[in-house]
Structure 1
Amino acid sequence: MLAKRFENRLQGQLLVNMITTVCSIGFALFGYDQGIMANLIGADNQFGKDFNHPDAGMQGTIVAIYELTAFFGGIVVFVFGDIWGRRRTINWGIFFQLLGVVIQCSAFSVPQLIVGRCVTGVGIGVLTAGIPVYQAECCAAEDRGKLACVFNWICICGVTSSYWIGYAFSFVNGPAQWRFPVAFQAAFSAVILFMIAILPESPRWLEQHGHTAEAKAVIARLVGRDVPQDDSRVTLLYNEILTAIAIEAQEGEFSFKETFSGGRQQNRRRILLCLLAGLGCQMSGINLITQYAPKIFQDSIGMTRSTSQLVAGFNSLEYMLATIPPIFYIERVGRRKILMAGAVGQCLTMAVLAITVHHGGYAAGIVGAAMLFLFNTVFAQAWLTAPWLYASEICTLRLRARGAAVASAGFWIINFAVVEFTPSAIQDIGWRTYIIFAIFNAVFVPTVYFFFPETTNLRLEDVDYLFEVKGITAGARGEARRRIAARHDMENAATMMTVGSEGKPNEKGAAEYIEMAVTGSSEASTVGSTTGRD
């Protein structure tokens, strides 16, 4: 097995970086596929000639059918993700995506092109459901947000590359004008196939499926180079995973009904939060811009086709640069604040865009173009990364792959609706299209405030404690965080039972410590530092 040959080479931070890289390239592929059609549809080019100049409705279908089948890719992961494992899920996604690329590149009719888009969509849906889970389960709590920002930045690098490759090939005569840009995404796929072959499986999945020795070995490799399996850091992380699995096992054998049940784990609420995060992301208006930027610059603002393609390229370049700052602050600011601030900014930019498009004129067109640039900047700071990260964080180990799959499926079905109606909406209701997105962004400010718990810097096993407080808005308040701190204090107290002087149990000190931890006393840490010496 290829992964075995690289066990000694890929350890510690290098291994974490490699996992982040493969997840990043997967999202770069997703981004490239999102943007590639933007430079092809709606123009008197070779693509239009080869496919008989599809009208606005057919343009929407060609682009959006990919989103619809990506929804089914998410459902595939919901059913099979925990059976396959994280690595095999990514592999299957690539196989489907590559098959779709071959069908698209060889297309000479709209039906064949649509079939290729459908197959590619299934593959991308599988990837977007599987990648966030693999990344979240293989990195430390304090790095999850930062690393997610990194691979979303690379995702936008994919979008940017699709725009500029599409623009460059718009000057080429003949079928290569569109066939090469479509085929180029296979380069991303080849890199992913090689890298995923040399990387280990998620230790959480391994332990859940009874591969204890392999799980410990992977944890040791993730902790550092040449770290023994009996190292205290390995033992701590392994015991946390084991505890989470034991707690979830109390619920009995998993059933699909459990996914949407309430009960002790509050799975229904977790899944709804995953779906809400996806809804907020997609109804922000980002796909309106990502997949139709040249068309918007041309039809809504009045630029020529060539100028609109060039400006859309610079728009995507600015978008790529705007995704860099969150890498450095997402773990300090927190998910909730970022999402609320982003929704406010996106609402305002969409409202101004609607006003400028309604007004018309050259000056208004310049302001409208600026709003598209500003929207990408705001979105990159908030809703680009947080929803994907959030869905993989708030679900239990038992539910994580299915929760991420449901979130991905919800993401894609909403995406399909947005992409399908956008060309017709711009044509039929014009500036009012942007008002729709402004309203959705406004609604998500109170939605995040009242319903979204903060997961920043929490270990995945700790997130479960956020849902111990009952009620649909519970966990979004500070009480849940205090419960987590108290739980950690109680766990520390339990270990003190065997660390008294000369190794004798220290029951009295532990009892006092537990009492203080439960009542939230600030003296708990002081007791913890002294009881071991009684």
Structure 2
Amino acid sequence: MAITFTVGGSPIGLTSISVALVASVGGFLFGYDTGQISGIQEMTDFKERFATETIFDSETMMTEPAFNSWLIGLIVSFLSIGTFFGVLLGAPIADKLGRRLAMTVETIVFSIGVLIQVTAQYAWYQVAIGRLVSGLGVGALSAAVPLYQSEAIPSQLRGAGVATYQLAITFGILVSNCINIGTRSIEGSWSWRTPILLGVAFAAVLGIGIWFLPESPRWLAARGRHDEAYEAVARVRGATKEDSNPWVEAEYASIITYVQNEAKLKKAGWIDCFRPQNKTLYRTILGIVLQAGQQLTGANYFFYYGANIFNSVGLSDSFVTQIILGAVNFVATFGSLYILERFGRRIPLMVGAIGMTVWLLIFGLAGHVGNPNDPTFGSLMIASACIFIVFYATTWAPGIWLFIGESFASETRAKQASLSAASNWFWNFLLAFFTQPITGDIDYAFGFVFAGANFLGFFIVYFFVYETKGLTLEEIDEMYNDDSVKPWQSRKWAPAGRANRLDIAARVRDEKTDDVLNVEDPQHGHWKSQPNSEGDETDTARKRREEPISKTEDA
């Protein structure tokens, strides 16, 4: 018998945890590739091979290789260029091949990019091209992973489950920092080749491990593979397809109903993401804006500029700086797993926006108006940076990826997720390329720019983001199509016929095991009912078998 646990009165299987953790390796790859370059560019052999300029060191009285700020910005940002195009390819790949096969293909693309980088000898552009190819894989994964997690994980655990994607990003950054500090003393090129090459091993964990988990039941049902879809729903609930489990039956019925209704519509294309009907355009634009807003929170500003901040109090080892910031980011992200499930989506995003605004203002004032070389101001800036990261890591970092995974209608979900993530990577590229030159001109006042963006983000969330906690993906789509509900009222919304959202769980939980929901099996064209413990149909089951499926949706 499978091991299960209860969340919100709902049975959840260990497979749900596995789906969250294994798929989130896609986020780990992005974090790992992002974090490693900041340390690799400081390694002696890497600079000797690829730097195009020299500087004079007054302490050693010798010249040493150095990167032009624009050139290193180009090498760093090539990953973001790849992710921008990769995420646009992620939607058709995930829809065509299925979520699991798509992720495997994308890990192979990532690994090809790694091999291009580690075989570079003296051409900096080969490293950049390798990062671009790896970015194609990472970008496609950024569309496929949250999509797969949101479709496969039960709604009672979806917030924490999808948040593991962001947790994995932060863990990847931290691991890459630790590996860099461990390999920097190696003589020769393996000081930088080793951390890059290890990316292949991490990619294999996802590319192979995903095949031990079920495919997205919604993707399976949409392609007529109903038996597999039912089995996938059962596995994440800790049941088997032979069990008479009311939770599995209810969720499967909801998926089948939605797929049947969707089948009546024409196949959606990219242009359909921009149609105003059913708030599709509304959700597309909101996804694009929120993903841009996640980058404009200023988090990457601290990761790019962190060494200078910590230098103000005498901590000059940039490798140690990266580990400190990465550790704060990683540890704080654990809090999001609880916060997003306990408080929903809207409140954490609004609180996070205000918290980040306040601490960015304190940081900017301490650095721009005060004296960062003064230990008091320097300590305040360090504290501000760390507290800012705590607010970011517990709210906007995972919360925006969660929005992408659960807020779009099924027929356009993959494409809208790709467009939204493309916005993230576009702004990621801009920050990666321009942060160093900008900070050289306006120093710590850059924090004021991000403070303004966060303040605007508060109002965007309040007026436009709907609360989706506790709803299935199909119910979320229903909520968006209910013209009577406004975003700031959405916490109280429940599907028709329900007193509140908790009533959804109560109605299913109170079902008797011998009185289960019967759903239409489109594969065979007849009604399917589960027998009771005596092997006979119950009266309720017989009655439901004769009713249209819309009558049984609320079970």
Q: TM-score, normalised by structure 1?
A: 0.85
CA contact (8 A) 1:245 1:398 kept: no
Q: Does 1:48 align with 2:59?
A: no
Give 1:303 shift.
Answer: 4.5
Amino acid at match of 2:405: S
CA contact (8 A) 2:163 2:401 kept: no
Rounded Cα–Cα distance in structure 2 between residues aligned with 1:292 and 1:166: 18
Give 1:305 shift.
Answer: 4.3
Name the CA shift for 1:505/1:144 in 2 (closer, same or farther; >3 Å): closer
CA contact (8 A) 1:22 1:195 kept: yes
Q: 1:23 maps to which residue?
A: 23
Name the CA shift for 1:80/1:187 in 2 (closer, same or farther; >3 Å): closer
Q: 1:3 maps to which residue?
A: none
Q: Does 1:100 align with 2:147?
A: no
Name the CA shift for 1:93/1:290 in 2 (closer, same or farther; >3 Å): farther
Amino acid at match of 1:19: V
CA contact (8 A) 2:304 2:436 kept: no
Rounded Cα–Cα distance in structure 2 between residues aligned with 1:480 and 1:225: 31
Q: Does 1:79 align with 2:92?
A: yes
Name the CA shift for 1:74/1:180 in 2 (closer, same or farther; >3 Å): same
Q: 1:379 maps to which residue?
A: 392
Amino acid at match of 1:478: Q
Amino acid at match of 2:46: F
Q: 2:442 maps to which residue?
A: 429
Rounded Cα–Cα distance in structure 2 between residues aligned with 1:504 and 1:76: 45
Q: 1:456 maps to which residue?
A: 469
Cα distance per residue 1:323-376 (max 9 Å; x no partner): 122222321211111001111111122222222222332322222222221111
Rounded Cα–Cα distance in structure 1 between residues aligned with 2:292 and 2:233: 34
Name the CA shift for 1:9/1:444 in 2 (closer, same or farther; >3 Å): closer
Give 1:505 shift.
Answer: 11
Name the CA shift for 1:92/1:289 in 2 (closer, same or farther; >3 Å): farther
CA contact (8 A) 1:229 1:235 kept: no
Q: Does 1:391 align with 2:401?
A: no
Rounded Cα–Cα distance in structure 1 between residues aligned with 2:541 and 2:163: 48
Give 1:257 shift.
Answer: 1.7
Q: Does 1:327 align with 2:326?
A: no
Amino acid at match of 1:362: D
Give 1:94 shift.
Answer: 0.3
**Aligned residues, how many?**
494
Cα distance per residue 1:377-426 (max 9 Å; x no partner): 11111011110011111111112211221121111011111111101111
CA contact (8 A) 1:82 1:401 kept: yes
Rounded Cα–Cα distance in structure 1 between residues aligned with 2:245 and 2:386: 50
Q: 1:478 maps to which residue?
A: 489
Q: 1:468 maps to which residue?
A: 481
Name the CA shift for 1:480/1:465 in 2 (closer, same or farther; >3 Å): farther
Q: 2:374 maps to which residue?
A: 362
Rounded Cα–Cα distance in structure 2 between residues aligned with 1:231 and 1:225: 7
Q: 2:138 maps to which residue?
A: 124
Amino acid at match of 1:57: W
Give 1:90 shift.
Answer: 0.8
Paired residues for 1:129-528 under 5 Å: 129-228=143-242, 231-263=245-277, 265-294=278-307, 297-298=310-311, 301=312, 303=314, 305-306=316-317, 308-358=318-368, 359-360=370-371, 361-363=373-375, 364-470=377-483, 475-478=486-489, 481-482=492-493, 484-486=495-497
Q: 2:535 maps to which residue?
A: none
Higher relative strand content: 2
Amino acid at match of 2:488: R
Rounded Cα–Cα distance in structure 1 between residues aligned with 2:443 and 2:210: 45
Rounded Cα–Cα distance in structure 2 between residues aligned with 1:216 and 1:503: 21
- Identify unmatched segments of 5+ residues in structure 2: 5-10, 52-65, 508-514, 519-537
CA contact (8 A) 1:465 1:483 kept: no
Q: TM-score, normalised by structure 2?
A: 0.82
Rounded Cα–Cα distance in structure 1 between residues aligned with 2:488 and 2:156: 21
Cα distance per residue 1:134-174 (max 9 Å; x no partner): 11111111101122233432331211111121122223332
Rounded Cα–Cα distance in structure 2 between residues aligned with 1:286 and 1:329: 19
Cα distance per residue 1:28-56 (max 9 Å; x no partner): 22211121112133x47222222122211
Rounded Cα–Cα distance in structure 2 between residues aligned with 1:103 and 1:502: 65
Structural RMSD (CA)? 3.2
Rounded Cα–Cα distance in structure 2 between residues aligned with 1:137 and 1:384: 20
CA contact (8 A) 2:82 2:132 kept: yes
CA contact (8 A) 1:38 1:293 kept: no
Name the CA shift for 1:220/1:369 in 2 (closer, same or farther; >3 Å): same
Name the CA shift for 1:454/1:408 in 2 (closer, same or farther; >3 Å): same
Give 1:216 shift.
Answer: 1.5
Rounded Cα–Cα distance in structure 1 between residues aligned with 2:25 and 2:137: 14
Give 1:123 shift.
Answer: 0.6
Q: 1:65 maps to which residue?
A: 78
Rounded Cα–Cα distance in structure 1 between residues aligned with 2:77 and 2:119: 20
Give 1:80 shift.
Answer: 3.0
Which deviates more, 189-198 or 449-458? 189-198
Which deviates more, 196-205 or 354-363? 354-363
CA contact (8 A) 1:271 1:403 kept: yes
